[in-house]
Chains A and B, each alone.
Chain A
Amino acid sequence: MITEERLKILTESAKYDVSCSSSGSARKNEGGMGNGYVAGCCHSFTPDGRCISLLKILLSNDCIYNCKYCPNRLDADVPRATATPEEICELTIDFYKRNYIEGLFLSSAVCKNPDYTMERLLLTVKKLRLEYNFHGYIHLKGIPKADPLLMKEAGRYADRMSYNIELPSEKSLKLLAPQKSKESLLLPMKTLAMQTAQFREEKKKGLIKGHFLPAGQTTQMIIGASPEADGQILRLTQALYQKNGLRRVYYSSYVPIVHDSLLPDTAVGQLREHRLYQADWLLRFYGFSVEELLSENENLATEFDPKCAWALKNMQLFPVEINRAPLEMLLRVPGIGSKNAYKIMEARKYTKLSFEDLVKMRIALKRARHFITCNGKFFGEKNEYSVRGLLAAAETGENAKQLDLFSILSSPQNAMIALSGQL
């Protein structure tokens, strides 16, 4: 059993990684313990409002790199610890058996060199799969600059892998993480995408069995440690989704745990992170492209959510008739989410929906009423300036609540979201 002290060090070093989802894998139990849960599953929630789904831990926090923003950087005066692969496996099995966790999220500081570190991670994951017969979820962090053959092998055992892009531009990387480059972070993502495609091809032909990253790849970037605008960040995001087939991009608002003259001393408000997630959702589930939302040097509006901001710029498209609008358009109405759009689509097959019907269906109309008609009747404010005022007022009143909602977005395995299929 790993000691409490080392568990504490290795957990505290891992906790700033925001990704924790356990969704996307339908791995079967093939004798032994565990299986995948496609919708993902949260097992507990910590007082910071985040969920615990996976045992998130580092194999070691003993790093040779000196990235300015990182609490585990070479220069930092922090306690160091390293776990053995056996200790990690034991911990995973005994936690899993008690239903504390959905699986393992394993990462590591770069010890000695990238290949050595990746070998240790791979060894741990293989041990867990082959010796401990564990079929639960494994999210493995990739180590940049490690041998592609090691990545390829890891892909056979992990459900999901992620390489963190860390900072949204080459310039910021040079400044804050001089040992990393955009290329060294993007290349492994591309390689993994190619390896995945190749595996699927071979599997289709019956040449190979098993899995290769059934839950795909994700990445994360730190927001606010460097000066990039939201427009630039979201363009990078869109490219990652479209070109590299990533499942999720996580945003982590910068928390000044480390003090350095190159870094800001204040934390980024969580509102910015929240707005980025809202925009990210629009890109993935609402049919928006980043070009429609904002220009490259622009930031997302703080006073409205990104869909409201878009609608206010495109008032000529509204109001839309709730009984006739196609799904694509319903999804673009401020205040109507994907679940409610679906409810409207279904309910209107039975009856012509009136405004009262929407109220009965508990569809939030505070924003939506300015953008819809029900059987030709309009219930909103006609004057565009008044609409702006009302929307902003709705937002301010809800701001606290809005911020609470933020973790729905950063912990996607949340049941509601899982049920709405937004994974």
Chain B
Amino acid sequence: MVYIFDGTKLGFLTAFLLAYEDGNALLTSHAVQLPLGESFISVTTDSDKAKRVERRLLTFDTDALHALDRLLRSGMENHEQIAFRYFKKLATEKRPIDKNFADPDVFAAVECMKKVGHEIHKMHGFVRFMELENGALYAPISPDNDICDLLLPHFRARLPEYPFVIHDVTRKKAAVYDGKNAFVAPLGTADVLISADEEGWQKLWKNYYKAVNIPSRERLKQMRGYMPVRYWKFLPEKQETPNSFE
């Protein structure tokens, strides 16, 4: 049976309860091509039931909710199924299983969470702000995982005097810090007016990037390994012309 839920934490936990006894359960929130002869259940989120499951899982592992949050943020196609198998195992074992690396379900979940964690770290480096006319900062991103709000604490701590917007252009949402409060808001396209100096600084940065390279030691494969091409779109140093956004 395929259990289709709304992608939220409570939706997952409701589906988890429904699917727990089902040996062939498949959990997903995407429109999927059903395997031949397979039927599906559209899960209606029941927050009371979900909270009960949540409390139960927490008694087995105090980190369970953190793990669930990471797994649901993953951009991997089968991440919800990975989460299901992981929590099913946790509910069976009734003790923390997160370090049982020899278990394939645990290993898959750990790798999935690791990818999310790594991307957060990567984005701490690869976010590129542009200065806007009003002095605020704007950075478009397109990460593999749904993490833009998890970037807020980092940038808020280091740039407390600058309002900023980190815009996940793929998921059409933005992590916003208005100078006082941080929050997430839906955001389709952004009309931004860059400051008069912005182009000059971008040019200087591109100049620096070129100058600090040692051409006789070219190792492009390695550069791409650390900084995959899919992240280049928003890096001024990897653009031929100054980064401008209409």
Contact = CB atoms under 8 A, between A and B. Distances in A.
B102 A353 contact: yes
B227 A47 contact: no
Interface stretch (B168-176, B180-188, B217-225): B217-225
Chain A contact residues, majority secondary structure: loop
Interface string B27-46: 00000000000000000000
A29 interface: yes
A205 interface: no
B118 interface: yes
Contacts of A416: 118
B212 A11 contact: yes
B115 to A, nearest CB: 11
Interface stretch (B11-19, B51-59, B79-87, B201-209): B201-209
Interface in A35-93: 35, 37, 39, 41-52, 55-56, 91
A32 B122 CA distance: 24
A48 B204 contact: no
B201 A361 contact: no
Contacts of A32: 161
Interface stretch (A2-10, A149-157, A174-182): A2-10
B220 A47 contact: yes
A418 interface: yes
Contacts of A98: 128-131, 137, 201, 205
A122 B70 CA distance: 44
A8 B124 CA distance: 26
B92 interface: no
A46 B102 contact: no
Contacts of A56: 212
B127 interface: yes
Given A1-B204, A7-B211, A15-B212, A44 B125 contact: yes
Interface in B118-176: 118, 121-122, 124-131, 137, 139, 155, 157-162
Q: Which of A35, A39, A48, A99 has the most CB of B within 10 A?
A: A99
Given A48-B213, A404-B219, A361 B107 contact: yes
Q: Which of A43, A44, A136 has the most CB of B within 10 A?
A: A44
Interface string A10-45: 011011100000000000010111110101011111
Nearest to B232: A44
Contacts of A315: none
Contacts of B159: 33, 97
Interface stretch (A327-335, A342-350, A380-388): A342-350
A26 B205 CA distance: 26
Given A47-B219, A52-B209, A34 B158 contact: yes
Nearest to B95: A350
A99 B211 contact: no
A48 B218 contact: yes
A350 B102 contact: yes
B129 A351 contact: no
Nearest to B162: A97
B217 A11 contact: no
B212 A4 contact: no
Contact of B201 (A94, A135, A350, A357): A94
A1 B204 CA distance: 9
Given A41-B125, A347-B100, A7 B208 contact: yes
Interface in B86-107: 97, 99-104, 107
Contact of B219 (A48, A95, A343, A360): A48
A414 interface: yes
Interface in A204-255: 255
Nearest to B100: A350
Nearest to B211: A11
A197 to B, nearest CB: 30
A380 B99 CA distance: 27
A43 B237 CA distance: 11
Given A48-B214, A98-B129, A361-B102, 13 more contacts: A1-B197, A42-B226, A46-B212, A46-B223, A47-B223, A52-B212, A98-B137, A100-B205, A267-B216, A270-B217, A347-B101, A351-B102, A419-B121
12 contacts: A7-B211, A16-B214, A41-B121, A44-B126, A45-B222, A48-B219, A56-B212, A95-B205, A97-B129, A350-B103, A351-B102, A360-B104
CB-based closest 10 A-B pairs = A49-B222, A49-B219, A346-B99, A357-B102, A11-B211, A46-B213, A350-B100, A347-B101, A48-B217, A45-B227
